[in-house]
Chain A
Amino acid sequence: MSTETEVVPPRAKVTEIDTVVIRFVGDSGDGMQLTGTQFADTTALVGNDLATLPDFPAEIRAPAGTLAGVSGYQISFSSRDIKTPGDQPDVLVAMNPAALKTNIGDLEEGGILIVDTDAFTEGNLAKAGCKTNPLKDRSLTGFRVFDIPLTSLTLQAVAEAGLTGRQATRCKNFFALGLVFWLYERPVDYTREWIEKKFKDHEQMAKANTLALLAGYNYADTTEVFTNHFRVRKAQLLPGTYRKITGNEATATGFITAALLSGRPLFYGSYPITPASDVLHELSRFKNYPVKTFQAEDEISAIGAAIGASYGGALGLTGTSGPGVALKSEAIGLAVMTELPLVIANIQRGGPSTGLPTKTEQADLFQAVLGRNGECPVAVVAPATPADCFAMAIEAFRIATRFMTPVFFLSDGYLGNGAEPWKIPPKSELPELDVRFRTEQEGFQPYLRDPKTLARPWAVPGTPGLEHRIGGLEKEDVTGNVSYDPQNHEKMVRLRAEKIARIASDIPRVEVFGKDSGRVLVVGWGSTYGAITSAVEELQEKGRPVSSIHLRYLNPFPANLGDVLRRFEKVLVPELNLGQLSMLIRARYLVDAIGLNKVQGKPFRVSEITRAIEELLRG
């Protein structure tokens, strides 16, 4: 498709800036996720770097106009390389009083505020708990306020489409989007095409939404509400083909790629759960690929079927979030005992129990590393960014099949829903996945191990002469027969542990960002990569003696981790939990890791990390 738009020569003044953070906020029925996604898609196509943070309530439609129903989508885009969706928005688009009230505190001093004045009715003000109308009580004087009757302008614009009043009102998000497109010199073409495709069976809706979009754009262009608009030049990205991708999309794409690379079909067993369901939705679309998806009756069935598929020779995969992992624990133990390859993707959310289903957290690390009965080691990997989910999904299956073991893939809601530009790797840069079944009868023993990896052979049903029985009872070394022998049990427990430990020699060493020794080392894992790296980069530019490492392998740890940790005076571990990685590091390396912990269902701000580092440097 074309990304060229004929932008009318602007009469308004153009200001060049390098980074902008916009947050769209409204009722959960106002289409804010859609608006944000459309803005992000177009922003990727015009060549900016970007990072997004969707933030929505667990209720699908909380009572309209209430504080609980506010849904938001934040995007940061830039002409530079950026790693986070930004600490604070420069621009806030608020569709009602509740959205304004819950978000205004985050807006930068002097930031742009666009509000739909039509939504500031007495009723809506009361629902938001506003005693006075903030548009009139001078509480917004610190911001550049653009109060625009978005709803009535939308109604006028779409009148000719002949929708009902209710339907017409729902087009207002496209009006707002058109307005913001103008403000940041973005073309409307991509969204126009998207609308036509999306509503191809609903001509009226297609027409109305297009009218609203264009009306918003033209309103900004022709009225003199905005005296300024802003230019964010293309980012200096590495040459290549790109696409904007969310973490969950990258996860699904990575798992399918693993299937294609290994020549083994992917089997995905899953039960719907936020925020992992998108992986199921995504994988179930690829029916012309070697992919089968199974929406199970529950979490246990989802993993049971994945184990069965692995036993049959497929790449068995199950995906869920923390509460689902809790239900799967016993079956993970079965996969450890039967030594079958299996990947468990946990798109973490706030816990415990049902917790905060739509909010992000990293509090399932212990669950992944330790959360089972018995001595039950598994490998654990964690992607660092939305696009990195692709590489780590392949890596999870590489380890699972090479070592015949379950592997945890620890993503989270922030990574899963967040998006960034992804430089599509050429096929030649993808890893090899050399997966072989045992077929030779001579000398076959179900638990005879590879001397290097300690993996047992993968002997699948249908192979003549290799008929054998496996199960959850303790196995006799080599033969795999049931054994209650005390010495054998200890031997097998140690063998299973040793097998996982040996993965350390098969994974990359951890690389230090910055000098490889110094005052402070910041250690992160998972989705905190962007915030940590941005903070460390900022302080390094100021000459502060701080470096960072980011762990993508949590069990086993990279072989050189202990050495790296000891080369720094202080170790800071920022995590969205109460200190799980720091406890593992302390236990394993006897290093005084200091936690920086946050459990608010939100990612770190860069400033929170810089502040903590500065404090450590002072102390």
Chain B
Amino acid sequence: MPSGVDVKGPKPTRADFATDQTVRWCPGCGDYSILAQVQKVMPNLGVARENIVFVSGIGCSSRFPYYMNTYGFHSIHGRAPTIATGIKVSRPELSVWVVTGDGDGLSIGGNHLIHAMRRNLDIKILLFNNRIYGLTKGQYSPTSEFGKKTKSSPFGTAEQPINPLGVALASECTFVARSVDIDTQHLSSIIERAARHRGTAFIEIYQNCNIFNDGAFEDFVAREVRTDRMIQIEHGKPLVFGKERRKGIRLRGFHPEVVTIGESGVSESDLLVHDETPQEPALAYLLSRMSYPEYPVPVGVFYRADRPRYEEIVEQQSIQATARFGAGSIERLLDSGETYKVT
């Protein structure tokens, strides 16, 4: 069960999670769709609004908390995971969400993101990846393609982009997923799974910035090509894609290859079967690096694991110490150490 569960009272609706604030994203921005899916999922979780906190940093995506009728904290650039950590450790019963972007989470706040994930706090991190800086009007981001021409790179960038899922996996994150803003059904199902995961859940959401990086993902997310150029990975199922469901991914050594079922003797049993919960996240890493046009772009849950949560361990230590030494009091505290009396 997700944190902050409260089954009392009438079930809230999607509208209960909307605020009276005017949403100020640019018309056509992918953020609208993500907001809608989060508001749609919330009533399903059985968590009272007052027990939910949305925390964000700085950037377009970070305006998100203003539009959620829950508790919200719009903090400073890159630091949302730190604020969320303090909330979760001091109030483990709350449902804590972090909304961040590719610049906020992977550039200025990269350090906090990796450490929050390795601690496995029970927080949910939504990283909106639009591969550009939107709020500052169009500079390249750490996920921008190599050589991309932007306002701050008129001759093309000289930087290799970072792989967000690879960062999450290397940080020992226990729930690593990807979805797309416009695939609303897939997105809402992944958000709901993340909410129900116990531990840090990280979702990279491909999000279109129609002003500064329009069509960044169009080559593979466009409705008419999506089935051929993307692949939905599902636990225990072979990696099959394409309109006809005839294409698949086969593993040759450490190298994934695209094959067609029925051609050159390939049958479905030759295909790679997805496993979300392997001993080691090597497969998830391999999948996270598959990119268009060489491969279909995978979405879904890449990896998950069950590990103790940081805030629970901390809480447990307090309980054990109290059982062993008795609860502290002012008198005991002040008189600890070597005392002596002067008369």
Write the residues of chain A forming the contact surface with B, with a CB cutoff of 8 angstroms: 1, 3, 41, 44-45, 47, 190, 234, 237-245, 249, 253, 256-257, 260-261, 265, 267, 269, 286-290, 292, 294, 296-298, 300-314, 316, 330-331, 333-334, 338, 424-425, 427, 430, 460-473, 481-482
Contacts and interface: CB of A to CB of B under 8 A. Distances in A.
Interface string B77-98: 0010111111111110110000
B330 A430 contact: yes
A592 B70 CA distance: 54
A286 B73 CA distance: 30
A467 B50 contact: yes
B71 A467 contact: yes
Interface of B: 19, 21, 48-53, 55, 58, 65-66, 68-76, 79, 81-91, 93-94, 111-112, 114-115, 314, 317-318, 320-322, 324-331, 333-335, 337-343
Contacts of A464: 48, 50
A442 to B, nearest CB: 16
A471 B115 contact: no
Q: Interface centre among A287, A464, A466, by most B CB within 10 Å?
A: A287
A234 B329 CA distance: 31
20 contacts: A44-B340, A239-B343, A260-B329, A267-B89, A287-B318, A287-B321, A290-B328, A301-B85, A302-B82, A308-B85, A309-B86, A312-B86, A312-B91, A424-B339, A461-B91, A462-B50, A471-B65, A471-B66, A471-B73, A472-B75
Contacts of A330: 76
Q: Interface centre among B85, B86, B93, B338, by most A CB within 10 Å?
A: B86
Nearest to A266: B90
B86 A461 contact: no
Nearest to A252: B333
Contacts of A234: 342
Main secondary structure of the interface of A (DSSP, over half): mixed
Q: Interface centre among A190, A269, A292, A425, by most B CB within 10 Å?
A: A292
Contact of B330 (A260, A305, A312, A472): A260
A97 to B, nearest CB: 35
B282 to A, nearest CB: 26
Q: Interface centre among B19, B66, B314, B333, by most A CB within 10 Å?
A: B333
A47 B340 contact: yes
Nearest to A284: B317
Lowest 3 CB-CB distances: which A-B pairs, in order?
A308-B86, A304-B82, A471-B74
A470 B72 contact: yes
Contacts of B115: 296-297, 301
B94 A304 contact: no
Given A427-B330, A462-B91, A45 B338 contact: yes
Nearest to B58: A472
Contacts of A44: 338, 340
Given A243-B338, A286-B328, A471-B75, A256 B333 contact: yes
B86 A304 contact: yes
B94 A241 contact: no
A288 B326 contact: yes
Contact of A309 (B72, B90, B322): B90
A306 B86 contact: yes
A301 B114 CA distance: 12
Given A253-B333, A292-B314, A463-B50, A305 B338 contact: no
Contact of B333 (A238, A244, A260, A467): A260
Given A301-B111, A461-B51, A294 B89 contact: yes
B117 to A, nearest CB: 11
Contact of B72 (A239, A294, A310, A469): A469
B66 A482 contact: yes
Contact of B86 (A238, A267, A467): A267
B70 to A, nearest CB: 6
A267 B338 CA distance: 26
Contact of A331 (B68, B76, B81, B89): B76
A294 B335 contact: no
A467 B70 contact: yes
Q: Interface centre among A256, A267, A311, A481, by most B CB within 10 Å?
A: A311
Contacts of B320: 287
A311 B334 contact: no
B55 A308 contact: yes
A406 to B, nearest CB: 14
Given A297-B111, A424-B334, A469-B66, A242 B50 contact: no
B83 A304 contact: yes
Contact of B83 (A47, A256, A305): A305
A521 B70 CA distance: 56
A185 to B, nearest CB: 17
A307 B50 CA distance: 19
B90 A314 contact: yes
Contacts of B71: 461, 467-469
Nearest to A471: B74
Contacts of A261: 330
A237 B51 contact: no
A481 to B, nearest CB: 7
B68 to A, nearest CB: 8
B240 to A, nearest CB: 41
Given A316-B86, A469-B66, A238 B342 contact: yes
B48 A239 contact: no
B94 A301 contact: no
B94 A462 contact: yes
A111 to B, nearest CB: 29
B87 A1 contact: no
A334 to B, nearest CB: 5
Contact of A313 (B76, B90, B329, B342): B90
Given A244-B338, A289-B333, A472-B58, 16 more contacts: A1-B338, A239-B343, A241-B341, A242-B339, A243-B338, A249-B337, A256-B328, A294-B86, A301-B82, A304-B85, A334-B75, A424-B339, A461-B71, A461-B94, A469-B72, A469-B73
